[in-house]
Amino acid sequence: MAKIKSIDPAVSEMLEQAEKEGLSTAFSRAEDMKPCPIGHVGRCCKHCHMGPCRLMKPGQTGVCGATIETVTARNLVRMIAGGASAHSDHGRDLALTLLAVAEGEAPDYRIRDKGKLLLMAEYLGVPIKGREILEIAQDVGSKALSQFGQQTGELLSVQRAPKPRQEIWRRLGMVPRGIDREVVEVMHRTHVGNDQDHESLLKAGLRCALADGWGGSMLATDLTDVLFGTPSPLSARSNLGILSDDEVNLIVHGHEPTLSEMIAVACMDPEMIEYAKSKGAKGINLAGICCTANEVLMRQGVGTIGNFLSQELAVMTGAIELMVVDIQCIMEALSPLCERYHTSLVTTSPKVHIHGATHIGFDEHRALDIAKQIVRMACDNYPKRGKTHIPQFQTELVAGFSHEYLNYLMGGYYRGSFRPLNDAIMTGRLRGVAGVVGCNNPRTSSHDAAHDYVTREFIKNDILVVQTGCGAISAAKFGLLAPEAAMELAGPGLREICETLGIPPVLHLGSCVDNSRILTTLAQMANEGGLGTDISDIPGVGLAPEWMSEKAISIGCYFVASGVYTIMGGKSPVEASEVVSEYISKVWEEQLGGKYEFIEEPEEMVARSLAHIDAKRQALGLPDYDPTRYGASGDGMLLRYLEAVEKGEPASLYSTKGL
C-alpha cells in the first residue's frame, strides 16, 4: 500500500494539487533524495579537509585515526551546539529589545508583565526595592545579556532547577558557566585534533544543552513574557481553511515575536484596514506558521495555518499576499515558489537573507512603522491575486497554558500551586505526564501521524500531555487542544480533571524556546512534594516523534540532563556506534536519571513510555494505575447518564464509584 504522506486532510489536498501542477515540495524532494546512509547514522566525519571520512568497517578509523565513537559523539554534540546557538541567540535579541525599551529607544513596545519582570529580577539578583520599573528592566536586560558572555561561575537561572538536580550537575561538572562559552567550547572541542574521548565530548554536549534549556531558552521565554505578556488561555483556529478568500492574507513565519507582535498591532489599525479595502479586500487576515505562529497564537489568538511541512503548501493555495519571515525553519524553497504566485516573501532578520526575497531589515526602534510598511505591501498584492485553492479544513483550539497560568488554574491567586496536579498523580487519577514536542519530518511514516498517535494514546491512558512547537500545531489541527477532546478521547481520570478545570487534555505551552516552560513546570512539581524530590523521580516522559532540527536535539539533551526519559523518533544519528548509543541511554540514565533513545515506531514509543511511567510510580510507592477507579465523577457525569438512558443502558446518576 502506498504510504500516506500526511494524515492532515488539508496537507493531503494540497499535495495532490502540487502533483497536478508539477510543483516540488519537501515531501517530493524527500522521496527523490534518500538520506545518505553513511551520514544518517553518524558514520561520516567532515570536520577537516583530509576527509570526509566514511567509517564503514568494524575498527575502521578516519585519516586522523578518529574512531567511530569519537566521530558519532562529535557529530551529536555539534548538533547540540547548533541548536543551542539558535535558541540562545533568539534569547539574546530579546534581552537587547528589553534594554532598548528600558532606555526609551523602542517606543512601540512596553513592559506588559511587570510581575514576570520582578520574578526575573529575583533570579538574576537585580534589586527591586524602591526602584522604578524601567530601572529594574534596564538591569534585568543587562544581567540577562551578561549570562551570554559570562566566562566563569554558574548561570543564574540554574537555581530554578530543584536542588538535588543542581547538585547532580555540580558533581558531574556540568553546570553551564556562560551560554556562549558552552557553545564555543563544543565547537572548539570538536575541531580536528581536540577532544577524542566520547565520554568527555558527550558531557560537554550536555553542558551546552543545559546552557540552552536553563539558559538561553529560559531567558527567551521569560523576556518574551515580560515584553508581550505571559500567556493565558484563549481560543483560536488552525489549519489552511482559516485563509480568507476575500481578505488580504498575511502570514508570519519563523520564531521571534518582536516583529509578529507589531504586525498584529498594525493589522488591527483602522488606517491599514481602510488601505486593504481600498485595494478591493474586505479586510486583513493575519495568520502564522511554525513557532512565530505559536507566539502570536498564545498571546493574541492569531490562527495558525500549519506546522513546518505546511509552509510551501500554504503558498500553493495562491491566497497568500505576503509571507514575512524572521529566523529558523524557513525553507529556501519558499523563494522560487513565491515567484510563481503573487506572494511576496519578506525577510527581516540581519541573520536571514534569502536569495530572491525582499529584505526589509527589522529595527525595534521603529517597529510599528516597519510593520505597517509590510502590511501595506501585502495589501498592494491583493489585486494581483489569481485563482485560489484553499482546503476547507479548520479546527477550534484553546492555547496559552503558561507555567504561571497552570499555577493560577489550580488554586487562583489566593493559593495557586501544583498540589492538585501532584495529588492527581499520587492517587492514580493521572498515570503521569508527557511532553510531546518538536518538528515534522518528511522521513517519518506520515506527516503528523506519530505526533497524533502518541498523543492520543497518552491521553487515553490518563497521561496529561503538554506540547510546544510544531507538535502543538499538529494537536491543534486534530482537535486535541479543544476541551471537548477530553470527553471523547481522555481516559476516565484525566477526563474528570479536564471537566472540572475546563481544560483540554493536551495543553499548548508555546513555541520551541518555551520548552523551558516544561522545565519550570517539572521543577515546581518536584519541589511541591509527593513525587520525590527531583525531576527524575516524576512519572513522566518527553518525546519528539518527528524531529528534524538541531534545536530538537539540543532540547532532547537538556531534558535528559534534567532527568527526563526522552524519546526521539526516527533513526538514531549515533546508530553507527553501539558504545555511544548505549552511553546516551544507559550511562546517562545512571548519571542523570534521564536517558536518550531513538525509536522509529510510534507504538514502541508509547509502550516504552508507559513502562517507564509505571516504573517511576512503583519506585515512588504509588498505587498501580487502575482506570476503573475513576470516571464516575466530574461535570460530564450528567451527560454520560443521559447518553446511557438514551441508549437504554443501565445508569445511575448518583453513582459514587471512584469518589
Instruction: Report the interface residues with ligand MSK, using CB under 6 A.
Output: 255, 290-291, 307-308, 328-329, 438-439, 469-470, 511-512, 549, 551-552
| Residue nearer to ligand MSK on the CB measure, 229 or 438 | 438
Tell me the closest approach of the beta carbon of residue 337 to ligand MSK, in angstroms.
18
| Residue nearer to ligand MSK on the CB measure, 181 or 551 | 551
What is the SS3 assignment for 303? strand
Tell me the closest approach of the beta carbon of residue 326 to ligand MSK, in angstroms.
11
Q: Is 621 exposed, middle or buried (0-12, 13-18, 19+ CB in 10 A)?
A: exposed
| Residue nearer to ligand MSK on the CB measure, 27 or 583 | 27
Tell me the closest approach of the beta carbon of residue 105 to ligand MSK, in angstroms.
29
What is the SS3 assignment for 657? coil
Question: Hey, CA dihedral for 308, 311, 313, 319, is it positive or negative?
Answer: positive
| Residue nearer to ligand MSK on the CB measure, 201 or 325 | 325
| Residue nearer to ligand MSK on the CB measure, 308 or 625 | 308
| Residue nearer to ligand MSK on the CB measure, 124 or 290 | 290
> What's 21's DSSP letter?
H
Tell me the closest approach of the beta carbon of residue 470 to ligand MSK, in angstroms.
3
Tell me the closest approach of the beta carbon of residue 213 to ligand MSK, in angstroms.
14
Tell me how far apart the alpha carbons of residues 358 and 25 are, in angstroms, rounded to a whole number.
22
Which grid cell sits at 313?
Answer: 503548501
Residues in the chain, overall count: 659
| Residue nearer to ligand MSK on the CB measure, 150 or 310 | 310
Tell me the closest approach of the beta carbon of residue 241 to ligand MSK, in angstroms.
20
Which grid cell sits at 646?
Answer: 438514551
Tell me how far apart the alpha carbons of residues 442 and 454 are, in angstroms, rounded to a whole number.
18
Question: What is the H or E stretch that residue 464 is in?
Answer: strand 463-468
Detail the DSSP E strand segments found in 19-160.
44-45, 53-54
Could you tell me where the DSSP H helices lie in 251-333? 257-268, 270-278, 290-300, 311-316
Tell me the closest approach of the beta carbon of residue 446 to ligand MSK, in angstroms.
16
The alpha carbons of the chain give a radius of gyration, in whole angstroms, of 25
Tell me the closest approach of the beta carbon of residue 472 to ligand MSK, in angstroms.
9
Tell me how far apart the alpha carbons of residues 153 and 73 are, in angstroms, rounded to a whole number.
26
- Cell numbers 438514551 label which residue? 646
Tell me how far apart the alpha carbons of residues 152 and 67 are, in angstroms, rounded to a whole number.
32
Tell me the closest approach of the beta carbon of residue 550 to ligand MSK, in angstroms.
9
C-alpha separations of 488 from 496, 643, 654 in Å: 12, 13, 22
Question: What is the H or E stretch that residue 250 is in?
Answer: strand 248-254
- Cell numbers 461535570 label which residue? 635
| Residue nearer to ligand MSK on the CB measure, 217 or 461 | 217
| Residue nearer to ligand MSK on the CB measure, 305 or 470 | 470
Tell me the closest approach of the beta carbon of residue 585 to ligand MSK, in angstroms.
23
Neighbours of 439 (CB within 10 A): 25
| Residue nearer to ligand MSK on the CB measure, 308 or 401 | 308
Tell me the closest approach of the beta carbon of residue 247 to ligand MSK, in angstroms.
25
Sheet containing strand 303-306, strands side by side = 358-359, 344-347, 322-325, 248-254, 284-289, 303-306, 234-238, 395-399
C-alpha separations of 418 from 83, 414, 532 in Å: 31, 13, 14
Contact 330, 354 (CB under 8 A): yes
| Residue nearer to ligand MSK on the CB measure, 304 or 461 | 304
